[in-house]
Amino acid sequence: MSKKKGKGKGKAAPKKAPRTATNRRAAARAPRAAQRTAAASEGRTAYATIFIFRTGNGTRIRTAPQRLYAGPGYIEWTVVNLVDGSNAPVTLTWPNGGPWGKEPVEVRDGTIRVPLEGAQPGRYKYVVHGLDAQEDPEVEIPEM
This prediction has a pTM of 0.67
Residue 21: predicted pLDDT: 65
Task: Parse the chain into domains and list their residue ranges.
Answer: 43-141
Residue 49: predicted pLDDT: 94
- Taking only the tens place, the pLDDT of each residue in 45-69 is 999 999 999 999 999 999 999 999 9
Residue 13: predicted pLDDT: 78
Residue 32: predicted pLDDT: 52
* 3-class DSSP assignment, residue 112: strand
Cα angle, residue 142 at apex, residues 137 and 143 outer, rounded to 5°: 150
Nearest CA-CA partner of 46 in 143, 110, 144, 139: 139
pLDDT of 10 above 90: no
Q: What's the CA gap between 58 and 31, in Å, rounded?
A: 51
Residue 14: predicted pLDDT: 78
Q: What's the CA gap between 28 and 118, in Å, rounded?
A: 38
Residue 41: predicted pLDDT: 52
Would you put residue 97 in left (φ > 0), alpha (ψ -120 to 50) or beta?
Answer: left
Q: What's the CA gap between 63 and 77, in Å, rounded?
A: 9
β-pairing verdict for 127-130 and 133-135 = antiparallel
> Is CATH 2.60.40 the classification given to domain 43-141?
yes
pLDDT band at 11 (very low <50, low <70, confident <90, very high): confident
